[in-house]
Structure 1
Amino acid sequence: MKKVRKAIIPAAGLGTRFLPATKALAKEMLPIVDKPTIQFIVEEARKSGIEDIVIVSGKSKRSIEDHFDSNPELEENLKAKHKDDMLKLVEETTDINLYFIRQSHPRGLGDAVLTAKAFIGDEPFVVMLGDDMMEDKVPLTQQLINSYQDTGASTLAVMRVPHEDTAKYGVIDPTEEIKPGLYNVNSFVEKPNPDEAPSDLAIIGRYLFTPEIFDALEHTAPGKGNEIQLTDAIDLLNRTQRVFAHEFKGDRHDVGNKFGWIQTNIEYGLNHPEVKDHLRAYIEALGQKLVEEDKKKS
């Protein structure tokens, strides 16, 4: 069995939910306190033993490449001022085997993954979406790799969501739980209406694939939005080889929408050594102010 050592991070989306900020700035570069969201994804990959990462980017995404590139002028400035802690933070972003591929047209997540076919070759690999930040004692990507080492099969991460939210996700139709948290799957459905959803187990932003997924993608017709839907290709792959679903029970932060991004900033800020005390005091004062305003209104 080949080692899982490569990852694809799709980052070609237009980021329209964050306009006007994303008119010239890559959505993936929006910070959680002081770190771009995409850096959290890269760090999870490295903690999981991934050696080579390819980022599938698009137009107006140059800032991602610049972030992970060296900046000699900045580094020399920090060295001269003996700002060693800051220098370490900067240097950590360049110590990565990182590659970039351009998706010329936004044809969907499935097409973005297919764009990296030559980079992956005939190896198993993971796909990590930047809108989902995961927290657990064992990184979710490592959990999927551990499952693959047991089964040798493609495995994707799922999480239980409120039934009314199933229209926002790909959803699995599980047949049986073969061991705690690992499901055989009958079919995969892209964004079903809640009254048609086969379960509450929604596909979240981590996947582990055998290379056969590329053949499935090449034979997948455009689906919703006239895009190549990765969920449709997974369902096609499942007809010829098993695809498992691994239930994630850690914490998921959805930073792909404004409220989720703000919420994640607050939660991370409350644990950030530089701002946590000030932020906690501010939230407490703000809460008291809102209570007093409500009393005046009543």
Structure 2
Amino acid sequence: MLTNLRKAIIPVAGLGTRLLPISKSIPKEMVPVVDRPLIQHVVEEALAAGLNEIILVTRGGKSAVEDHFDTHYEIEAELEKKGKTALLEALRTITPPQLKVTSVRQDRALGLGHAIHCAAHLLQADEPFAVILPDVLVKPVPGDAAPVDLAVMAEAYQRDAAAQIMVEAVPLERVDQYGIVDCGGVEPAAGTAAAMRGVVEKPKPADAPSRLSVIGRYILPGEIMGLLANTPPGAGGEIQLTDAIAELIRLGRPVEAFRMQGRTFDCGYVQGWLQANQQLAREAGLLE
């Protein structure tokens, strides 16, 4: 059994153009969803999956994302002096003792694959890792006591050493907006996985191998870093993670599509961000 899965790479170097003008001077990862910024939601998701070493792949102008996980002694001392224990505890839960946050710069905007490879030197040889894209929130269904989806994926990887790619079903008419996985006609039930044969970027509905779209959660073997180093630019002139995953499959490495049980909220654009705030605020009892 593998036991060294503890790191999660979170790319935060994007410009956030879909959230403009909100993200003009505020990193999109710091835009609030209900009572805390987007980045805190995804770091909490990582911690719930047992991933306590976070690597932020960042750029200039994003220092607020890193600062959010610093201890602010002055505020804490003031809250303690005034007896505001609930607020003090809320601040302290942002950075629990087990959380370790490291950042590395992406010097050029050359795609997701390039961003992930920027963190290669922070991993040990062949060390597996997770990738979490912060634009998308993955939340459990209210009242569901099952582990978070990322935790199920991490457990599956540590048991079987098969790379895990989180997917969800989308309407056939929308498959041309996503990366779509090919599982050879097999459609896994929610909470289960199926072996992948490939992945196709934004296929036409008539050509789509399934309706299962990749949604921004991955558990990957360390070997993929070497593949990314040699992956040529693909779609959009960028180094695509999907191309490296396709190479993993070609090499005969096990790669599985894990069908999520929870819900997704795409906070990378205004309508999705508003939907997340409204829905999650209602569930927290903050809206009627």
1:115 to 101, 118, 121: 118
Q: How does 1:124-203 map to 2 (within 5 A)?
A: 124-136=128-140, 137-175=146-184, 177=186, 180=189, 181-203=192-214
Tell me, in whole angstroms, the C-alpha distance in 1 between the residues paired with 2:198 and 2:167: 13
Alignment of 1:248 with 2:260, yes or no, is yes
Q: CA deviation at 1:193?
A: 2.5
Residue 239 of structure 1 corresponds to which residue in structure 2? 250
Superimposed CA distance per residue, residues 242-284 of structure 1 (whole angstroms, 9 cap, x where no aligned partner) = 21111112211111111110000001111234xx2xx31xxxx
| CA pair 179-254 structure 1, distance change in 2 beyond 3 A | closer
Q: Is the 8 A contact 2:188 2:258 kept in 1?
A: no
For the residue of structure 1 that corresponds to 2:79, the secondary structure is helix
Superimposed CA distance per residue, residues 190-219 of structure 1 (whole angstroms, 9 cap, x where no aligned partner) = 222323221101011110001111122122
Residue 212 of structure 1 corresponds to which residue in structure 2? 223
CA RMSD of aligned residues (A): 1.6
Tell me, in whole angstroms, the C-alpha distance in 2 between the residues paired with 1:225 and 1:217: 16
Q: How does 1:56-67 map to 2 (within 5 A)?
A: 56-67=57-68
Q: CA deviation at 1:107?
A: 0.8
Paired AA for residue 244 in structure 1: E
Q: Is the 8 A contact 2:12 2:29 kept in 1?
A: yes
For the residue of structure 2 that corresponds to 1:23, the secondary structure is coil
| CA pair 103-156 structure 1, distance change in 2 beyond 3 A | same
Paired AA for residue 130 in structure 2: V
For the residue of structure 1 that corresponds to 2:210, the secondary structure is coil
Residue 257 of structure 1 corresponds to which residue in structure 2? 269
Q: Which runs of 4+ in 1 moved over 4 A?
A: 176-180
* Structure with more contact order per residue of length (Cα contacts < 8 Å, sep ≥ 6): 2
For the residue of structure 2 that corresponds to 1:49, the secondary structure is coil
For the residue of structure 1 that corresponds to 2:217, the secondary structure is strand
Q: CA deviation at 1:239?
A: 0.8
Tell me, in whole angstroms, the C-alpha distance in 2 between the residues paired with 1:106 and 1:179: 35
Q: Is the 8 A contact 2:166 2:258 kept in 1?
A: yes
Q: Is the 8 A contact 2:161 2:254 kept in 1?
A: no
Tell me, in whole angstroms, the C-alpha distance in 1 between the residues paired with 2:164 and 2:186: 14
Alignment of 1:269 with 2:281, yes or no, is yes
Tell me, in whole angstroms, the C-alpha distance in 2 between the residues paired with 1:205 and 1:242: 19
Residue 89 of structure 1 corresponds to which residue in structure 2? 90
Higher helix share: 1
Length, aligned pairs only: 276
TM-score, normalising length: structure 2: 0.91
| CA pair 92-79 structure 1, distance change in 2 beyond 3 A | same
Residue 296 of structure 1 corresponds to which residue in structure 2? none
For the residue of structure 1 that corresponds to 2:184, the secondary structure is strand
Unaligned stretches of 5+ residues in structure 1: 281-298
Residue 31 of structure 2 corresponds to which residue in structure 1? 30
For the residue of structure 1 that corresponds to 2:183, the secondary structure is strand
Q: Is the 8 A contact 2:149 2:261 kept in 1?
A: no
Tell me, in whole angstroms, the C-alpha distance in 1 between the residues paired with 2:32 and 2:103: 21
Q: Is the 8 A contact 2:199 2:246 kept in 1?
A: yes
Tell me, in whole angstroms, the C-alpha distance in 2 between the residues paired with 1:172 and 1:252: 18
Tell me, in whole angstroms, the C-alpha distance in 2 between the residues paired with 1:177 and 1:147: 18
Alignment of 1:50 with 2:54, yes or no, is no
Paired AA for residue 36 in structure 2: K
Tell me, in whole angstroms, the C-alpha distance in 1 between the residues paired with 2:90 and 2:202: 39
Tell me, in whole angstroms, the C-alpha distance in 2 between the residues paired with 1:81 and 1:154: 49
Identity %: 39
Q: Is the 8 A contact 1:160 1:200 kept in 2?
A: yes
Tell me, in whole angstroms, the C-alpha distance in 1 between the residues paired with 2:18 and 2:89: 33
Tell me, in whole angstroms, the C-alpha distance in 1 between the residues paired with 2:19 and 2:113: 22
Tell me, in whole angstroms, the C-alpha distance in 2 between the residues paired with 1:192 and 1:15: 25
Q: Is the 8 A contact 1:189 1:232 kept in 2?
A: no
TM-score, normalising length: structure 1: 0.88
Superimposed CA distance per residue, residues 82-128 of structure 1 (whole angstroms, 9 cap, x where no aligned partner) = 11110111112233211111111111111111111111222111111
